[in-house]
A and B are shown apart, each in its own frame.
Chain A
Amino acid sequence: MPTITFVEPDGTRRDVSAHPGESLMAAATRANVAGIIAECGGSAMCATCHCYLVAGDLPEAEALEAETLEFVAQNVQASSRLTCQVTVTDAMAGTVLQVAPR
């Protein structure tokens, strides 16, 4: 189970054990990471699981994720991801994500 670090809006670092096959959002929700609202449950509708990739390497965002970010999420940066659209793999151990402000 790879460990993913989420940095909460107030700067608190949370190390979360993620299960390969689940989404990064699901792992964050299970651990009650502050700022991950996950309102739509992973349908790329609400952008309330928006994070910035601080360290690590994730697969490229597909069109659904990229467009949703471009047209809805506030404070979008080049490193922005919708964590509901990223499926956890063992190779993601050590990834660090900063929860985006809303």
Chain B
Amino acid sequence: MSGVVIIGAGHAGSQLAVSLRAEGYAGAVTLIDASDVLPYHKPPLSKTFLKDPAALPQPLRAASAYDAAGVVRRKGSVTAIDTAAQRVTLDGESLPYGDLVLATGARNRMLPDLLGASNVLSLRDLADAERLRDALAMAHSITVIGGGFIGLESAAALAGMGKSVTVLEAAPRMLARVAAPETSARVEDTLAGLGVKLRLGWTTQNYRRDGDRVTAVLGTTDELSCDLILVGIGAVADTALAQAAGIACNMGILTDAHLQTSAPHVWAIGDVAETPHWQAGAALRVESVQNATDQARHLARILSGAALTPFRTVPWFWSDIGPLKLQIAGLAIGADRRVVRDDGARLAVFHLAGDRLMSVETLNNPADHMIARQVLDSGRTPPDAVMVEGAAAMKAWLAQG
């Protein structure tokens, strides 16, 4: 028995490695990581890590946790998969596998015009965050391209460090693709209060350059000079290895509801996996810590001999933008109606598709978020009046069954 080989040691790969043993898996477990840094939490990289020059990455778990689980950590990169022979090529060495798990994650999208510029950075892994933190020492004026989670979290952190920060967003509001207008408005007000300049509906016409540096972004009516540009325009799944091996891919590596790819004994989890989603009724790639770790635990049970059951969890996300904690439960797929409770300090937005609750967004409002996860898991939808009333009312409604 050749055991489980896991490619990628992010949140998903690391969780799977230790969960296999916790579920009673008896074979060998090999975790292949491109880096030799102990697998770490990614979310703090756009927040606390940037602010503290001495901050170290926060390990997901101690080295002793892998040792105790008998997980062999290998540094290197896999260059090929032979699904027929059940072998991978790791830096020239051929390794057999009983089951192979692709947890290769995603990589940042970059604007083609800005490739190769020395003062244009993006943020995903520790190396990115270290580059950005180093560059900040010499940069005062920073332009963030993209008003999504990473861009806005970073903008708030950078403003808090005294930097002059401008965020450029093509859409008419920040977080346009992931949050309700009510949420966007509150986030925009808060960022403005931190001194972040927001340019909505922005169209870049060109860039001004000095050697390999970009010194200004030119819009339709004005130009914004900058020392540093941070690009946060989303990510694409890292499917190259799978595609080269003939494994079916779309936006990500396609899996069935049990996380199995088109190749026998090959599975995919985390940001890279495009998996049928119970809420959406379609295959989706979900980029989140929760999705990565829950898929890892689900697959650990399957590989340890449990019955094949579909992966089904209520997705949840969070984003800490300065003093705001944005929390999202569920996916607002097909939503056509909102119920909003706004009491000034806190916000709750309920997205419904017809009569069915799909997702709940909250700001500085953990009670509603936590109960929303349980409500969504129940598959039931509270009456509007209960959602408007508050978390305690939802808890009581849920308990009534």
Contact = CB atoms under 8 A, between A and B. Distances in A.
Q: How large is the interface on A (under 10, 10 to 19, 20 to 34, 35 or more residues)?
A: 20 to 34
B395 interface: yes
A56 interface: no
A1 interface: no
Interface in B40-59: 41, 43-44, 58-59
B68 interface: yes
B58 A41 contact: yes
A44 to B, nearest CB: 7
Interface in A31-85: 31-32, 38-46, 63-64, 67-68, 70-72
Contacts of B373: 72
B321 to A, nearest CB: 12
A45 B327 contact: yes
Contacts of A67: 366-367, 370, 391
B221 to A, nearest CB: 39
Contact of A68 (B58, B65, B293, B370): B370
A85 to B, nearest CB: 11
Q: Is the interface of B mostly helix, strand, loop or mixed?
A: helix
B318 A40 contact: yes
Contacts of B395: 71
A26 B58 contact: yes
A45 B61 CA distance: 17
Contacts of B61: 29, 32, 38
Interface in B207-232: none
Given A45-B318, A67-B366, A71-B371, A32 B68 contact: yes
A32 B371 contact: no
Contacts of A102: none
Contacts of A71: 366-367, 369-371, 391, 395
- The residue among B60, B65, B370 with the most chain A CB atoms within 10 A of its own CB is B370
Contacts, number: 60
Given A43-B43, A45-B318, A29 B366 contact: no
A26 B318 CA distance: 20
Contacts of B325: 43-44, 64
Contacts of B41: 41-42
A45 B316 contact: yes
Interface in B56-73: 58-62, 64-65, 68
Nearest to B294: A39
B289 interface: yes
A30 B367 contact: no
A46 B41 CA distance: 14
B320 interface: yes
B270 to A, nearest CB: 14
A87 to B, nearest CB: 13
B369 to A, nearest CB: 8
A32 B367 contact: no
Interface of A: 26, 29-32, 38-46, 63-64, 67-68, 70-72
Q: Nearest 9 pairs between A and B by C-beta?
A: A71-B370, A41-B41, A72-B370, A67-B367, A32-B62, A67-B366, A68-B366, A32-B64, A32-B65
Interface of B: 41, 43-44, 58-62, 64-65, 68, 289-290, 293, 316, 318, 320, 325, 327, 366-367, 369-371, 373-374, 391, 395
10 contacts: A38-B60, A39-B289, A39-B290, A40-B289, A41-B41, A43-B325, A64-B366, A71-B369, A71-B371, A71-B395
